[in-house]
Structure 1
Amino acid sequence: MVFWRNTGMILLFYMLAVSCEKMLEVETPSNQIGKDKVFADVQTANAALAGLYAGLRDNSPLSGESLGPFLGVYTDDLDSYALTDTNGILALYHNQQTDTNSTVYSVWSTAYQHIYAANAIIEGVKASALPGNEKNRIEGEALLIRSILLFYLQQVFGPVPYPVTTDYKVNQSLSRIKSGEVLSRLETDLSYCAGLLPDQYRDSERVYPNRKSAELMLAKVYMVRQKWGEAEQALKTILGSPLYSFQNDLTKVFQKDSKHIIWQLKPANPGDPVKEAMVYYFSGAAPTGYALSESLVNSFEVGDLRKQLWMAAVTVGGNTWYRADKYKNITINDTEDSIVFRLEEVYLLLAEALAQQNKTGEALQYINPVRQRAGLSALTSVSKELLLGEILLENRREFFTEMGHRFLDLKRNNRLSDLQPVKPNWKAFHSVWPIPQKDILLNPNLKPQNNGY
């Protein structure tokens, strides 16, 4: 892993990024700033933290042009029409990635860069004299970001390093730890994180996460660890909050002012479209990037309004493709932010956790609102196995192109082999990506390489 060696400089970098975007009213330092200066007051500490969010939006696994499309083509939700494979996307699409794939490396390297920045903020705020409530909040937000990134790294790469310091002498020789241990540490960190964060948002657009964001992330870890009862409790805590309400209008799901949104990322500048609006867009010509797969389009039941409202057909020369059309603003945007977590995920995770505990009747109370909003009939009494299959389908229809949901949901349910009929190159070892060769050469402690690569 390549880590910055100068903590003060990386914090300066983040503060400069945020100052340029005017996300916070903080004067740009004229030269350098030490870590003690960054955390001398709440305003400068918030500037460093806001810069971390800008980095997440611009170039990280959470960016709208990263795991959504990358894992979409890797599974069966997207087709790639790239003309060349300079960035490794076609290799991912054909499940032929290697340890030199540039897209694989970008996911790995950008995640660890932001993890380093989060650790710098955690260290800085712990050593500061900031008021206790502010110290807790800033540490909690940085720890949550670190935990989310490590969760996605574990899901995509399997055993991974778990850096908790900015000491490059430590980080440059870290070994990978087993997936079970990564998840155990995440459970501990997220439980602690939830205790640090307040419920109330510090921004009306919910562009900074709160306690419920941490509790949702903790529930996702519980689900992967098959701790169904703990997941149920965490998810019901979120649903019990007056901060949220189910959005019954499909046309408003991706509008930034809805109370079903748990956390979202703001575009760089006022009026900018979110990245998801642009990365999937094509019109008037055959796609040269991504299009929705026939498998995904055909997975929708007749009458499903999501197919009508969240997809757009493009017909050229007698051929028809479908593009993702969840985010509508491709020029001037004043109504959309990039959603990371929304309430429908809580509903479907809770339905799954309940079904896994044979509470199928109660589980129907959480899958049916999602179905009925889409114009589908409510499910009635079904077996556990059939219900889990329906929940998996609903996740696909609800969250296509969002944050790599399809891959994560199939993996959590031990159903990645379902890809075989439409992904002929799919092999069992494709449940994880290779560790990038660049970093193995820099740090031999990252060996052994994942099986199959």
Structure 2
Amino acid sequence: MKSSYNHLVITILLLIQLAFTSCEKLIAVDMPDNQIDKNQVFENLQTANAALAGLYSGLFDNSPISGGSGGTGAILGVYTDDMDYYAASNADYQIFLNQQIETNTTINTLWLNCYQHIYKANIIIEGIVNSRSLKESDKNSIKGEALLVRSVVYFYLQQLFGDIPYTTTTNYQFNQTISRTPATELLSKLQQDLTEAIALLSDNYRSAERIIPNRKVAELMLAKVYLLQHKWIEAELLLKTIVQSPMYQFQNDITQVFKKSGKHIIWQLKPLANGAATKEVQQYYHNNAAPTGYALSENLVNAFSDDDLRKKNWMLIATFNQQTWHLPWKYQVRLDNTSEYSIVFRLEEVYLLLAEAYAQQNLPDKITEALTYVNAIKDRAGIPILNGQYSKEDLLSEIIVESRKEFFSEMGHRFLDLKRLNRLPILVTAKPNWKDYHIIWPLPQKELLLNSNLLPQNYGY
């Protein structure tokens, strides 16, 4: 049964791929005789869920939330001051030097992958809306998940590129000539989409392993959008619903944070093959050799005190020719992996975002409440907690420091946090090539050539 379902997932994924044979040209193609018509996919719950499974497998493999080389954990780690890069003269090395240009292949690939996921989500949403056979509850669940996934991808695109095209259609003629949506308007659209997703989804997970997002994931994403919109109270209310939910429990054992069974996990992605290692292990592990890719920066390593349990448990020391490097080592199972999935969201992020929402309101009782959540993470790490009086700005600085130490190598947290709090310029002390316009990346040159309505290029590029 499992084998036949996996075959079905592949069939549906190929179907969607055929509907979207080129991110660059959005060519319409005829359906081969041996394939299911895409309208039929969403008249049956099994095939509809297979389409969703294909969307999730793509997220694990090559999306902003992937733990691999195309994910933002690695790319934004070297773009900021969390990681160094040791493979010179390629696209990632340009990003490491903050010398990215509009022909950078890493940037182009990330853009294309994101819009491919968006297109797949739009196929699912259109199919569900037009379905005449599925139960209303099933339609709500599938549409809510697709809306949520699309919003996650749009969120990263907007943070990386600023004004971007926002499309909800699979009409290739429209998509070929679409213009960019201003960032503030796009955030409003994401607010609407996530609000709809929240209404459609349930708190109950469809998978006990939490590999399929639920309503709380949508609430967390909406809270992130609210923080970007400076809607502190709205963000606080949403984040508190997650913290107060009986489904989640803070993980007090530092060695268990990246085990798939934790009650602190809000959403995670399962490796595509049974027993396979996470993308993070494949990406970062090497032993008894000089790094040929990513390693943690000295700047980051020195930010930890020696008694910080995260430094002791989440970093691997590699030595070669009397030189030493620190590698991300949050995921540690290389073979026969049955205990680790790639975590997308965990409760610790909710704690720090809630602390931020409290701090931004700049009220004494809110500041006190914020300290509680920051201190829970510091206490688990075995380092001194915060005591005394803190101003809003001082507390936000503490939150930034704690978030960096908690989420290094995870989905670009350092970049997103600094950008949201208007503190990206501090990177210039560790990144000599950093410029103010690096707050966003250039749009890929190929896209500008294909669609002149995307012009002008972002400032500085």
Which residue does 2:86 correspond to in 1?
81
TM-score (ref. length: structure 2): 0.92
Is 1:52 the equivalent of 2:55?
A: yes
- Counterpart Cα distance in 1 of 2:250 and 2:63: 29
Amino acid at match of 1:60: S
Match of 1:70 among 75, 81, 91: 75
Amino acid at match of 2:125: I
Which residue does 1:391 correspond to in 2?
399
Determine if contact 2:307/2:382 at 8 Å carries over to the other structure: yes
Q: Tell me by how many angstroms 1:84 deviates.
A: 3.8
Match of 1:312 among 302, 309, 316: 316
Distance 1:271 1:282, change over 3 A: same
Listed one character per residue, the Cα deviations across residues 48-86 of structure 1 (whole Å, up to 9, x for unaligned) are 11011011111122211111100000000000001441x
Is 1:298 the equivalent of 2:302?
A: yes
Distance 1:83 1:426, change over 3 A: closer
Match of 1:116 among 116, 119, 123: 119
Q: Tell me by how many angstroms 1:241 deviates.
A: 1.1
Determine if contact 2:15/2:36 at 8 Å carries over to the other structure: no
Amino acid at match of 1:75: T
What secondary structure is seen at the aligned counterpart in 1 of 2:429?
Answer: coil
Match of 2:137 among 133, 158, 180: 133
Listed one character per residue, the Cα deviations across residues 292-333 of structure 1 (whole Å, up to 9, x for unaligned) are 001100111341100000001112222111000000011221
Match of 1:321 among 320, 325, 334: 325
Q: Tell me by how many angstroms 1:383 deviates.
A: 1.9
Q: Tell me by how many angstroms 1:36 deviates.
A: 2.1
- Counterpart Cα distance in 2 of 1:208 and 1:12: 17
Is 1:103 the equivalent of 2:106?
A: yes
Listed one character per residue, the Cα deviations across residues 4-30 of structure 1 (whole Å, up to 9, x for unaligned) are xxxxx995516899xxxxxxxxxxx99
Determine if contact 1:14/1:51 at 8 Å carries over to the other structure: no
Query: Cα RMSD (Å) of the superposition?
Result: 1.6
Amino acid at match of 1:158: G
Determine if contact 1:15/1:47 at 8 Å carries over to the other structure: no
- Counterpart Cα distance in 1 of 2:305 and 2:225: 30
Match of 2:162 among 158, 165, 187: 158
Distance 1:182 1:69, change over 3 A: same
- Counterpart Cα distance in 2 of 1:392 and 1:283: 31
Listed one character per residue, the Cα deviations across residues 323-348 of structure 1 (whole Å, up to 9, x for unaligned) are 00000011221100011111000000
Determine if contact 1:12/1:32 at 8 Å carries over to the other structure: no
Listed one character per residue, the Cα deviations across residues 239-283 of structure 1 (whole Å, up to 9, x for unaligned) are 121110000011010000100000000001110000011111121
Match of 1:450 among 441, 446, 458: 458
Distance 1:13 1:392, change over 3 A: same
Listed one character per residue, the Cα deviations across residues 395-438 of structure 1 (whole Å, up to 9, x for unaligned) are 00000000000000000010000100110000000000000000
Amino acid at match of 1:128: S
Amino acid at match of 1:395: S
Which residue does 1:232 correspond to in 2?
236
Which residue does 1:269 correspond to in 2?
273
Ranges in structure 1 where 5+ consecutive residues have no aligned partner: 1-8, 18-28
- Counterpart Cα distance in 2 of 1:206 and 1:149: 19
- Counterpart Cα distance in 2 of 1:412 and 1:11: 38
Name whichever of 345-354 and 31-40 sits farther off. Answer: 31-40
Match of 2:350 among 346, 351, 354: 346
Which residue does 2:381 correspond to in 1?
374
Determine if contact 1:207/1:264 at 8 Å carries over to the other structure: yes
Is 1:334 the equivalent of 2:342?
A: no
Which residue does 2:21 correspond to in 1?
none
What secondary structure is seen at the aligned counterpart in 1 of 2:446?
Answer: helix
Is 1:92 the equivalent of 2:95?
A: yes
Distance 1:12 1:276, change over 3 A: closer
- Counterpart Cα distance in 1 of 2:198 and 2:241: 12
- Counterpart Cα distance in 1 of 2:393 and 2:65: 32
What secondary structure is seen at the aligned counterpart in 2 of 1:426?
Answer: coil
Amino acid at match of 1:193: A
Listed one character per residue, the Cα deviations across residues 163-186 of structure 1 (whole Å, up to 9, x for unaligned) are 100001111111001111111110
Q: Tell me by how many angstroms 1:376 deviates.
A: 1.2
Which residue does 2:193 correspond to in 1?
189
Amino acid at match of 1:439: E
What secondary structure is seen at the aligned counterpart in 2 of 1:420?
Answer: helix
Amino acid at match of 2:142: I
Listed one character per residue, the Cα deviations across residues 214-234 of structure 1 (whole Å, up to 9, x for unaligned) are 000000111111111110000
Amino acid at match of 2:458: N
Determine if contact 1:11/1:117 at 8 Å carries over to the other structure: no
Is 1:178 the equivalent of 2:198?
A: no
Determine if contact 2:12/2:50 at 8 Å carries over to the other structure: no
Amino acid at match of 2:117: H
Amino acid at match of 2:368: G
What secondary structure is seen at the aligned counterpart in 2 of 1:166?
Answer: coil
Amino acid at match of 2:352: L
Distance 1:90 1:366, change over 3 A: same
Match of 2:246 among 242, 251, 273: 242
Which residue does 1:421 correspond to in 2?
429
Distance 1:401 1:30, change over 3 A: farther
- Counterpart Cα distance in 1 of 2:446 and 2:283: 27
- Counterpart Cα distance in 1 of 2:295 and 2:391: 35
Which residue does 2:226 correspond to in 1?
222
- Counterpart Cα distance in 2 of 1:303 and 1:14: 52
- Counterpart Cα distance in 2 of 1:70 and 1:120: 29
Distance 1:373 1:420, change over 3 A: same
- Counterpart Cα distance in 2 of 1:62 and 1:14: 24
Amino acid at match of 1:372: D
Is 1:360 the equivalent of 2:367?
A: yes
